[in-house]
Structure 1
């Protein structure tokens, strides 16, 4: 029997990769959500401009996911360096008095940088370092980044900083964290580019979802999660009185931090189909709850449920997709991120169109919840593809 342990070197590698996602995703992609209400309040942009900026960010994420899969001669570490540098430049630019068109353009480029962070940090840890056990810590970086950026924004607002100075604050923090992570990553050697399948005692083999089924599910989940993740502080702003709505966004991030570990464990115990179905159902309930019961409590519960499940989808889907990567001819990690990006582009555009007509996000939340329930059904009733995966048994 072979005993598999996690060394301190493995943990430091996973932590460094997680910090790349703290900066590239938590700050570069999602700090905009926390600052959205303040940017509208400061007349930096309108709700409609913010919607276009959110969709532009998701479009950039789609483009970046495609580009990150190209240039195989460029190492994952170099792509991570690009992601950090580009993210800091984008956030610093938003600290300047720029036009609406520039805001939209910058958010598109920030989306490219975020995709490079997600795809390249995942590839560096899961592929180059052959450290699949580090996946939960890696993806917890997104929630940690959301929580850090949200509380930095709240602290800045408490001290009277406007939205532009708050962008400067999160930029400096992102640069400092990114430099530390890249220094750690540069000391790690390339371990392996070959996936080794080990069946351990206490594990059984079961059928896996196909790469194409996972792609469709991931696209639907991108649409479903995008509306809450783009607008949460904005649509709760009027319901909280003097309480800063960015703290609700902090709840979202806090829910996401441990979720990767929880969903990784459930993935191992239940297998991809059952774990993914459960994840999408929880997420669908969280997205739809504020539409059914609009109240301060429902907003908080929604933030925790969606925050506690949306990165769980990533934690389940990307490792599952990598296990069936040999069955398709495309770069599966890049394609999954692209599919998620397609869904996430459509979400804010629909939400903006609905808001323009009804001055409400309620119908958009219903659409998003239905998309997640359809994804859950796809996971449950998908056909077996003949590929097996390992499931933990007790």
Structure 2
């Protein structure tokens, strides 16, 4: 009897870890490894800064369309979509090793963006709905930060071995494939057999207090996407430009490492103070991290920015996705996919505005301040009790 209950307790954790690996591949590698590779590809003349910006925008457009496509995918297709996203991400990483032309680079990043959205929505639906393990959210979303850190260190090790950009992309694809192989056996629709057991566990805790209305969540999440994306897209490139003696990829690894424990911290804070207060604190701290490099072009400011933004941006997801689960029944559309689409729109708008502002000022200070303002606006939307 004891062994049976022990298995019930272990099973959701194993599946949460599998979901974390999915996000490590789809988001950490498929989406954010490009940030670490950006200055390397520019330095090796594999692409220009302009081409990199176009590729980044294409990635965000793909992310948006992938989220919209997932709005019609139900629970019974979540496991299949999750596996598809892992395979698609590995393929896109490997494809970038073959000296892509600018159109091919843009197209590949577009597909990778779509795979990232599919992995995020499908893994969230699979774990939170199919498996029924809401308290697995911190482990699940910690996979994003873990993937960023692992991919960044893979780049650092590859550079130490004198690998060029093409070989580095192959290395990233190989590591992503290995992580996918670890997750693959657990990502099955049959995992729903644990839903009844985990529901008994989840009932021991009350749902997060001070819930926020669905459309307020959507709007705030869209501004949050706009707010973090400048740092998440350009941080290593900014460091390489302003502080060439600083190892930009290692700072980027700190961004990912800060994200891993943050998921557990923000989940606990969410459970303690409720959705509204947790989001306000999260977005306010994130705003400080985003604007820091605009006021101090010093190594400590960039490192602090990486830690503060890395330590909050996945926390935003960790708070919003479980909160959305509690109000999803009040709307007739897929709320998780809509939230992801709003985030995607914010991410598209961020680099477009940043490029325009930077072209006029020849600095990223104004884009960073604008991004910080968007995060403050998102926080203000969560303050009023009328948003509940």
Pick the TM interval, shorter chain: over 0.9
Partner of 2:74: 72
Structure 2 residue 341 is matched with structure 1 residue 338: yes
Distance 1:89 1:201, change over 3 A: closer
Root mean square deviation of aligned Cα: 2.2
Say which is worse superposed, 177-186 or 272-281, in terms of deviation.
Answer: 177-186
Partner of 2:221: 218
Say which is worse superposed, 357-366 or 247-256, in terms of deviation.
Answer: 357-366
Partner of 1:29: 31
- Aligned partners of 2:381 and 2:218: how far apart in 1? 11
Alignment match of 1:114 (pick from 113, 116, 120): 116
Shift of 1:238: 3.1
Higher fraction of helix: 2
Shift of 1:299: 0.3
- Aligned partners of 2:347 and 2:237: how far apart in 1? 18
Q: Deviations over 1:9-62 (max 9, x none)?
A: 111100001000000000000000000000111111111111111111111011
Partner of 1:63: 65
- Aligned partners of 1:366 and 1:259: how far apart in 2? 24
Shift of 1:288: 0.6
Distance 1:134 1:98, change over 3 A: same
Alignment match of 1:371 (pick from 367, 371, 374): 374
**How many equivalent residue pairs?**
383
Distance 1:267 1:5, change over 3 A: farther
- Aligned partners of 1:191 and 1:98: how far apart in 2? 44
Contact 1:216 1:339 (8 Å CA) reproduced = yes
Partner of 2:41: 39
- Aligned partners of 2:186 and 2:204: how far apart in 1? 34
Contact 1:154 1:244 (8 Å CA) reproduced = no
Contact 1:147 1:251 (8 Å CA) reproduced = yes
Contact 1:240 1:296 (8 Å CA) reproduced = yes
Shift of 1:250: 0.3
Partner of 2:324: 321
- Aligned partners of 1:301 and 1:275: how far apart in 2? 21
Say which is worse superposed, 274-283 or 93-102, in terms of deviation.
Answer: 93-102
Q: Deviations over 1:209-255 (max 9, x none)?
A: 00000000000000001100000000011344433211110010000
Shift of 1:7: 1.3
- Aligned partners of 1:15 and 1:164: how far apart in 2? 30
Partner of 2:252: 249
- Aligned partners of 2:83 and 2:355: how far apart in 1? 34
Other structure's SS at 2:162 match: coil
Partner of 1:388: none
Shift of 1:181: 0.3
Partner of 2:266: 263
Q: Deviations over 1:101-152 (max 9, x none)?
A: 1111111110000011000111111100001111000000000000000010
Other structure's SS at 1:75 match: helix
Contact 1:52 1:349 (8 Å CA) reproduced = no
Q: Deviations over 1:316-355 (max 9, x none)?
A: 0011011100111110010000000000011111112222
- Aligned partners of 1:75 and 1:336: how far apart in 2? 19
Contact 2:22 2:123 (8 Å CA) reproduced = yes
Other structure's SS at 1:324 match: helix
- Aligned partners of 1:89 and 1:205: how far apart in 2? 39
For structure 2, the 5+ residue unaligned runs are none
- Aligned partners of 1:202 and 1:82: how far apart in 2? 34
Distance 1:358 1:177, change over 3 A: same
Structure 2 residue 160 is matched with structure 1 residue 143: no
Structure 2 residue 229 is matched with structure 1 residue 231: no
Distance 1:283 1:197, change over 3 A: farther
Shift of 1:200: 6.3
Alignment match of 2:186 (pick from 166, 169, 184): 184
Shift of 1:164: 1.3
Partner of 1:308: 311
Structure 2 residue 364 is matched with structure 1 residue 361: yes
- Mapping of 1:83-232 within 5 angstroms? 83-186=85-188, 189-191=191-193, 206-232=209-235
